[in-house]
Structure 1
Amino acid sequence: MKIKYLGLLLAGTLGMNSCSMVGDIDSIKPYYKMEGDNVVYNLESAESVLRGVYKSWRAFNVSSFRLYMSILSGTAVSKGGGLTGGQEFVTNSIQANNVALANIYQGSYLTINTANNLIKLMERGDAKGAPEKRVKEIIGECKIQRALAHFQVLRHFGYFFDLSSPYGIVLRNTPFSGTETAPRATVQQSYDFILADLNDAIANAPQNNELHYYVTKTTAKALKAKVLLHMGRYSEAETTAKEAIDDAKRNGYQLEGSFQTIFTNGYDSPEALFATYTEGPMEVASDQIARTTYSEFTKRMADMLVGTNNDGDLNTGDGYDQRFYLMFNPTLAGAQGNGKHPYSTNGTGKHNTQMLLRLGEIYFIHAEAAARNGHFDTARQSFQIMASRAGYPADYAAGIRNNQLLTAIFQHKVLELFAENGEDWFDFVRYYQAKNIAINAIKSTIKSDSQLILPLPQTALAGNNQLQQNPL
């Protein structure tokens, strides 16, 4: 069964399709105000509103921004017309009035607000006749998405790498209508809020779902491992990532046998822990991937990892990491010029799914956390699984010295997740903060710690007089 995102729409969602849509986040109205206070009145109406929360991840403001972070890190470059506001990401000189910043900030809080509205209505008992178990599951699904959206804001606009920093984010656990202002929480408070949501979801979200554009307990546990890794709580991250991998195996998730089939299968991929449903003329997301391509850094790394000193051949794959080849081979790359987005943006069938979280990433999280804990053999086991799928020998990880293992995990993870969710940028920041790489290891325009955090959008500052800008 394929879900159709029709019926009730979220307040403001239609406007999100325009690349010019900006404005302060406090202008977003609560969803239930659209039709008074009775938009949820039974289980069917609650499920319809829940689908709207999922739909918010496809909004232009959110879906189009992921590429910006790969440009920021230097693993991707703009081509053709480029991306709106993208030049400042090319030069790592982003200003507070950048339209892309306003879009992602507002889009993230739209997801948070729509989730908060539904949580309120479910906790209030508006879904008359709904089984108590399903009520708790819906709240759990909303909390996973609220946690993910807050985590997204924290990583983009907060000092996510410093638990002692006062520069966290504005936390929202109740609906807001446009009149409320609030100060930033600390980074520690921000993480505590996110973890509390995920722990609640691990207890109450659905155990599994054959439709991988829905979130489950496994999604929550995998995201928790990712959050713990960013917090530097490596022992817990290692344990939680292993639990998530084991849960995934029990609950219908598994790694694809081929890197390429992850993206041709899209939201149907068993590897997807949370993916956008994108198919047909109504269920689309703007990825803009055709406006980007690989950088020389990414190309050289794909060449170096297989041990060659000269450029490989993209027509045959010889001399290149197979993930790079499958993304950019002229035949396999498809209409968008990137094999991770193989479908036409205007087709009537399946469109390009955005992988918000997938199982392959959790293997890398487990490998990194284990390596940072000094559990090198354990780290190699998870790392080898991912390297084997990419065509590396069965003893590849065993041949990497302990003091080189973290660097190898970083490089392989960049190629694995490149042009998906900007993980290459956040990993760069984490590795730099851990003194594993130099600040300009990827891109010469990154020269200062102040460039590691995006400025809060001017529109957000204008709409919230308690909001304090990041230091320059």
Structure 2
Amino acid sequence: MKRYKIFLLFIVAGTLIQACSKYTDIKTEGALTPSDYVNYRYLMNNRQDLERSVDMPDMTADDIVYNDAAIQQGLSAESRNAYMWAAQYYDVVAADPDWKILYANIYPCNLVIRDVMNSNGGTTQLKKQVLAEARVHRAYSYFTLVNMYGKQYNESSKATDLGVPLLLEPDVAIVATRATVQQAYDQILTDLQAAVPDLPEKNTYNIYPSKAAAYALLARTYLQMGQYVEAEKNADNALMIQSGLLDLSTLSSYPQRTDNPEIILSKTAGMSHQYSAMQVMSSQLLSLYDTKDYRYSYFTSNYTLSGNTYRVYSKEAVIGGNRNIGPSVPEMLLIKAECRARAGDAGGAMSAINTLRAKRFAALDFTPMTATSAADALVKVLQERRRELCFTCIRWFDQKRLFTDSRFAENITRTNFATGETYTLTPGSNRYLFPIPQYNIQLNPSLEQNPR
């Protein structure tokens, strides 16, 4: 391939999220119409963009708390707005970076899906793999978008509940409107199921989608839909390919993301929390940990401000990089455990949980967890999800899907210390829908805002 084509691709792919369009605020200067297969391979190798994901759902979830005026004041205005579940998180001239990143990642995927099979060079098998990788990345983005900005999947109302704009062509001139939740989930499942046959079981690095990654995202999607048989089946499929766990009690140093056997598909949290000491853990979350649990001693630390000491989640400082929020082996074990509990199999649920917990304690400190019933097992599984998956944006999605279950649905109250105002998030509230960015509504009035 000629050098100028490589250079062009670097410029275009590296700046996809810089300028504006009517729906996602992505760059459209120039036309990328390469004829060679290798150009599409490069687009799917663009780790700088495709590995990036979101982080604001950690700010809205109940795993975090800021009961200190100084800490609240230290947050960005956007983060404070999100923390209080405000009517808007960003002002009319500021783009929402989570929305922007996810749609910017969808654009090159659409380009690959449309054109790669007609490109020159490369075998049919290689082209199909690149196409499959694009489908997985697109499915990940749409799953995250619909669960941030759309309503929770509900069988009785999915056909009318608003989801997010569903853009499947690399054409930024399209006037986007919001698809339904059902349409979004149908597309996610279609992409992932179509991708499975053409992916390697494991890819060269975990930044590239694999068969295990497609199964893992199917498991995550079906769990959010409440389809537990399918969720467990796909979690098992992923675990049959990849089941490695880190033994935290024996680690001399934490591996980089690409070397971490637990990560099935690497997706990094957004930039607002990177290396942050501001992820103050709620008392409810902290109460779930045994101090002998290495997830407590290794990934959390004390933070002192104005004479007050708080426990913060400090995994990024430990690993020296941004945290992974993509699907992982622990998440698959937890999905399997939850599905077993919901099927009435308390022993199977605890077996899956103990496989994970045995790697989170020193051998002398580990005691297998037991459950007295399937209902007890479900409570313990969901507690384990919080311990293991905190600050991966999963908790916010769990709060959304569990709101109809009185055992797990709770009111969350927060106080703005600058104004003295108190805000309460109730189960199933419209505040569980992130506001559509006002910036994008100004560009495209066809985008309907979420009720507040």
Which TM-score tier does this pair reach, normalised by the shorter chain? 0.7 to 0.9
Matched to 2:315, the amino acid is: K
The Cα shift of 1:162 comes to: 2.0
Trace 1:169-184 onto structure 2 (pairs within 5 A).
169-177=164-172, 179-184=173-178
Partner-residue secondary structure (3-state), 1:273: coil
Aligned equivalent of 1:464: 444
After TM superposition, give the deviation of residue 16 of structure 1 in Å.
Answer: 4.9
Distance 2:202 2:257 in 1: 18
Q: CA deviation at 1:194?
A: 0.3
Equivalent residue number for residue 126 of structure 2: 134
The structure 2 residue matched to 1:360, chosen from 315, 323, 330, is: 330
Query: Which of 35, 59, 64 is equivalent to 1:71?
Result: 59
CA distance in 2, matches of 1:259, 1:430: 33
2:21 touches 2:27 (CA, 8 Å); kept in 1? no
Alignment of 1:263-412 (within 5 A): 263-275=254-266, 287-298=273-284, 300-302=286-288, 305-306=289-290, 319=291, 321-329=293-301, 338-342=313-317, 351-391=321-361, 396-412=368-384
**Shift in Å at residue 176 of structure 1?**
1.9
Deviation at 1:169, TM superposition (A): 1.7
1:14, distance to aligned residue in structure 2 (A): 4.1
User: Which letter does structure 2 place at the counterpart of 1:370?
Assistant: R
Paired AA for residue 465 in structure 1:
P
The one of 241, 248, 255 equivalent to 1:258 is: 248
Off by >6 Å, runs of 4+ in structure 1: none
1:22 and 1:383, CA in 2 relative to 1: closer, same or farther beyond 3 A?
A: farther
Show structure 1 runs of 5+ residues with no match: 1-5, 279-283, 307-318, 332-336, 345-349
Q: 1:38 aligns with which of 33, 42, 45?
A: 33
CA contact (8 A) 2:51 2:207 kept: no
Q: TM-score, normalised by structure 1?
A: 0.79
The percentage of counterpart residues that share the same residue type is 22
- Deviation at 1:13? 4.1
Displacement of 1:149 in angstroms is 0.3
The Cα shift of 1:411 comes to: 1.7
Measured in 2, the distance between the counterparts of 1:296 and 1:353 equals 19
Q: Superposed, which structure 2 residues align to 1:229-244 within 5 Å?
A: 229-244=223-238
1:19-57 CA-partner distances (Å, limit 9, x unpaired) = xx8875354245xx63x4533x334322222223x4324
The CA distance in 1 between the partners of 2:188 and 2:398, in whole Å, is 19
Residues 468, 286 of structure 1: CA spacing in aligned structure 2 closer, same or farther, 3 A cutoff? closer
| Structure 1 CA distance for aligned equivalents of residues 374 and 397 of structure 2 | 23
The two structures have a TM-score, normalised by structure 2, of 0.82
Secondary structure at the counterpart of residue 390 of structure 1: coil
Count of residue correspondences? 418
Give the secondary structure class of the aligned counterpart of 1:175. Answer: coil
Alignment-mate amino acid for residue 131 of structure 2: I
Conservation of the 8 A alpha-carbon contact between 1:26 and 1:180? no
Question: Kindly tell me: are residues 48 and 84 of structure 1, through their superposed partners in 2, closer, same or farther at Cα, counting changes over 3 Å?
Answer: farther
RMSD of equivalent CA atoms: 3.2
Give a deviation string over 1:250-281, Cα, whole Å, max 9, x none: xxxx1112279595332211111111599xxx
Query: 8 Å contact 2:17–2:26 — kept in the other structure?
Result: no
Contact 2:133 2:195 in 1 (8 A): yes
Say if 1:210 and 1:182 are closer, same or farther in 2 by CA, change over 3 A.
closer
* 1:423 maps to 2:418: no
CA distances 1:271-316 after superposition (whole Å, capped 9, x unpaired): 11111599xxxxx9664341522333255424xx53xxxxxxxxxx
Structure 1 CA distance for aligned equivalents of residues 221 and 140 of structure 2: 9
Shift of 1:86: 0.8
Q: State the alpha-carbon separation in 2 of the partners of residues 285 and 57 from structure 1.
A: 14
Is 1:146 matched with 2:138?
A: yes
Pairing of 1:93-108 with structure 2 (within 5 A): 93-95=86-88, 97-98=90-91, 102-108=96-102
Q: CA deviation at 1:431?
A: 1.9
One-letter amino acid of the counterpart of residue 345, structure 2? H
C-alpha separation in 2, matches of 1:413 and 1:48: 36
Distance 1:368 1:293, change over 3 A: same
Instruction: Report the 3-state secondary structure (helix = DSSP H, G, I; strand = E; otherwise coil) of the residue aligned with 2:332.
Output: helix
Q: Corresponding residue for 1:310? A: none
* Pair 1:413-2:385 in alignment: yes
1:205–1:217 Cα contact (<8 Å) kept: yes
Query: Residue 140 of structure 1 contacts residue 201 of structure 1 at CA under 8 Å; is this kept in 2?
Result: yes
Matches within 5 A, 1:54-93: 54-58=47-51, 62=53, 65-66=54-55, 68-77=56-65, 79=71, 81-93=74-86
1:76–1:295 Cα contact (<8 Å) kept: yes
Q: Write the letter of the residue equivalent to 2:256.
A: N
More divergent stretch after superposition (107-116 vs 453-462): 453-462
- Contact 2:435 2:449 (8 Å CA) reproduced: yes
C-alpha distance in 2 between matches for 1:412 and 1:289: 24
Name the amino acid aligned to 2:142.
H
